[in-house]
Structure 1
Amino acid sequence: MAKIMTKVILNNKGKFTEPLFVLLGKSQCNGLHSKVSVKEIKIPIPGGHIAGKLWGNDQQQPILALHGWQDNCGVWDPLAPMLCDKKPILAIDLPGHGFSSWIAPGALQDTWDVVQYIIELKNYFKWDKFSILGHSLGSVAGLRYAGLYPKNVDFFIAIENLVYEDHDIDHFLKYLPKALEKSQMSQHALNNEPPESTMEELTYKLYIAMNKSVDKQNMHYLTQRAIRPSKRDLSKFCYTRDIRLKYLSMKPPNIKFLETLFSRLSFPLLYIKAANSSYKLSDEHCLRVREILENNNPYYESHTVGGSHHVHINNPERLAPIIVDFFRKHKIIQE
């Protein structure tokens, strides 16, 4: 489909804006959600672009949906159709993921980079306030942004993570030297075509790398943006992600600083934890953050549902009613 420009209302002024992004195509979902409008988007940023999908009415300001580490915006395909008739969903591929541009040569990916991407999007769309739906890395980074700019956030929905687990110094002494060496090596392989294989083998490797968190029959939600045809042999395939993502910078966090950030949150905040996740998040720091939110934010609520780390892919029907109730409770939607 040819690229066209479109005018959309993605700010909170209630007026048409100038054209904000390139609309790459419009499609209808298959299956149960065949009447849901989905648009592929491409948002320019310095040095490249952010790709993604806009679910629902493009005349309303959407919820910004942020995926997890080495995932892409396809993870929201099962859940977004259940919510976007209530509130539109703007699900993006973070830089280095999916169809978005890779970061600049010589740069390293860091968990705080996502905060910068959020600032870029807010300024680009001229949002005064906006809402975030995050999973794993997307949720952790989104909450860091919210702690820094609490007046900019209307509400927040966190799936699985609020923060990362705290590790002792020995963990970082063992992890960082190897990670930094491999990260530097990856800088010299950016111009190389990624390893090639069959679609089936790459899908299976991704399934294993994700600790089988996504059911096999649901892997297509990820692979449609995670795997592309090889440029050398169109019968073979390779991954789309920036290879430097494998060595995401995980430096020892300043626990006191992070906990102070979360004590500043006073907007409606919904936290949904998957009971069968491989990420237990039961260390002292994670429990302390939940305690801080419970004691300081009267609009904080948490729920536990059955499912894996990627419960929003495998079991979206367990999340949607909780989220819609949250919308109603805080008058986010008018019915």
Structure 2
Amino acid sequence: MLFSKLYKPNYLKTFTNLRTITTTKCLKVEHAEIRIPVPWGHVSGQWWGSKEQRPILAVAGWKDNIGTFLPLIEEVSKHVGIVCIEVSGLGLSTPFPPGFFYNFDAALTIVHHVLDHFKWDKVSFMGHSLGSGTAFMYAALYPELVDFIVGIDMLVPMPTSRENFCKVRRTSLDSFLAWDKAIARGERKLYTYEEAQEEVTKNTFNSIPREFTAHLLQRELVRSDSHPGRYYFRMDPRHNVKAVTYPPEQILEMAEQVRCPILNIKGTEFPFIEGETMYYKVCEILKKNNVPLQIENVQGSHHVHLTNTDDCVPIVKDFIRKYDSEERFSEIPNADVRKFYNFC
């Protein structure tokens, strides 16, 4: 049933090109660039691995693109199909029109467009940062549609106390309006490649060290036509505005609605992005409601899935294997891909 749903015309039109990645273990993982139509343009991403069954939906983080997700996805997709997307204004996805705000609600809308496009009746999430928080919110709004969440670093959206709520919202709105005007003036700062690497490391508080920046920059930098050897960042600068936060009471109410198993991988070198108190309050609610919750601490920072992929892979694989109710997980690496593409 799911196979027939995937092969509707809109599914076939999603793919733009196919590539084969050969790993050091001589296992080939077929992947394709995809474009999912949305009212304002398209959402970009890649489909990795098997297309015989509904894949896992991976959502990249705030001010990020799928490049930082790919080392993890390449390994996990040897066992189960994965679609990784970039929210609007990041990577190769179409930015929002002028005047529109990027926030968690916008990310939820994008997820819904993806599900509608592929005609999926369920969704399995893998998310990092904003993507992980979005998955949690989606599971709270549509608990019957989410079968599990693999969340890296962030568990829930960042809270803002009742006392600071208006101040934070005002600051976000002022910042957004300033960036919106800068875009209208066509302002873009130019960098050499080395300067761009330094910018990424600085802006991520060294979460993406210089030696890992190429993963992000491969889908981020655009060569300047007028200044040889210079580049500008593709990211819509309105993403510099912090994603809208929520009062603690709303986040706790979200936690009451979630029913699916959750894996949360935390980097040991990064503080609780949602606040330590909020994090453990949410965990208590999930445990009270008998929600399977697995918390793993892995050496690393906010981008631990990029800088310490080897330690994250077995944790993610074991979790998916355990909670994959549709038997999509192949114990033999790449078995489904070899069968489907018949290239082995």
Work out whether the TM-score is over 0.5: yes
Q: CA deviation at 1:203?
A: 1.8
2:214 is aligned with 1:220:
yes
- What pairs with 1:188-199 in structure 2 (closer than 5 Å)? 188-191=181-184, 192-199=186-193
2:201 is aligned with 1:207:
yes
- In terms of mean alpha carbon deviation, does 200-209 or 14-23 score higher? 14-23
Alignment partner, residue 145 of structure 2 = 152
2:12 is aligned with 1:18:
no
- What pairs with 1:86-97 in structure 2 (closer than 5 Å)? 86-97=79-90
Q: Secondary structure at the match of 1:154?
A: strand
Select 1:61's aligned residue among 46, 54, 57.
54
Structure 2 residue runs without a partner (length 5+): 332-344
Q: Is the 8 A contact 1:108 1:248 kept in 2?
A: no
Whole-Å separation in 2 of the counterparts to 1:206 and 1:113:
24
Q: Is the 8 A contact 2:35 2:42 kept in 1?
A: yes
- What pairs with 1:120-199 in structure 2 (closer than 5 Å)? 120-169=113-162, 171-172=164-165, 175-191=168-184, 192-199=186-193
2:56 is aligned with 1:52:
no
Q: Is the 8 A contact 1:274 1:305 kept in 2?
A: yes
Q: Is the 8 A contact 1:26 1:39 kept in 2?
A: yes
Once the two structures are superposed, what CA deviation does each residue of 1:275-321 show, in whole Å capped at 9, x if it has no partner?
11144645322210011112213422222111111001011111111
Select 2:241's aligned residue among 247, 260, 270.
247
Structure 1 residue runs without a partner (length 5+): 1-8
Q: CA deviation at 1:175?
A: 4.2
Q: Secondary structure at the match of 1:222?
A: helix
Q: CA deviation at 1:30?
A: 5.8
- In terms of mean alpha carbon deviation, does 157-166 or 126-135 score higher? 157-166
Alignment partner, residue 24 of structure 2 = 32
Alignment partner, residue 288 of structure 2 = 295
Q: Is the 8 A contact 1:56 1:85 kept in 2?
A: yes
Distance change >3 Å, CA 218–CA 30, structure 1 → 2: farther
Once the two structures are superposed, what CA deviation does each residue of 1:6-61 show, in whole Å capped at 9, x if it has no partner?
xxx9x565663224244222223365376221211111110111111111123332
Q: Which amino acid aligns with 2:218?
A: Q
Of structures 1 and 2, the one with the larger relative CO (CA 8 A, separation 6+) is 2
Q: Secondary structure at the match of 2:257?
A: coil
2:109 is aligned with 1:109:
no
Whole-Å separation in 2 of the counterparts to 1:101 and 1:184:
20
Once the two structures are superposed, what CA deviation does each residue of 1:52-96 show, in whole Å capped at 9, x if it has no partner?
111112333211101111001111111011110211111111101
- In terms of mean alpha carbon deviation, does 24-33 or 242-251 score higher? 24-33
Whole-Å separation in 2 of the counterparts to 1:13 and 1:258:
37
Q: CA deviation at 1:215?
A: 2.4
Aligned length: 325
Distance change >3 Å, CA 178–CA 19, structure 1 → 2: closer
Q: CA deviation at 1:112?
A: 1.7
Q: Which amino acid aligns with 2:21?
A: C
Alignment partner, residue 119 of structure 1 = 112
2:279 is aligned with 1:315:
no
Q: CA deviation at 1:230?
A: 1.7
Q: Secondary structure at the match of 2:124?
A: strand
2:333 is aligned with 1:324:
no
Q: Which amino acid aligns with 2:9?
A: E
- In terms of mean alpha carbon deviation, does 90-99 or 192-201 score higher? 192-201
Q: CA deviation at 1:193?
A: 4.7
Whole-Å separation in 2 of the counterparts to 1:288 and 1:265:
14
Identity of aligned residues (%): 29
Whole-Å separation in 2 of the counterparts to 1:217 and 1:254:
38
Whole-Å separation in 2 of the counterparts to 1:22 and 1:123:
13
What TM-score does the superposition give when structure 2 sets the normalisation length? 0.87
Q: Secondary structure at the match of 1:292?
A: helix
Whole-Å separation in 2 of the counterparts to 1:182 and 1:297:
41
Alignment partner, residue 3 of structure 1 = none
Whole-Å separation in 2 of the counterparts to 1:319 and 1:145:
24
Whole-Å separation in 1 of the counterparts to 2:172 and 2:308:
34
Alignment partner, residue 229 of structure 2 = 235
What TM-score does the superposition give when structure 1 sets the normalisation length? 0.89
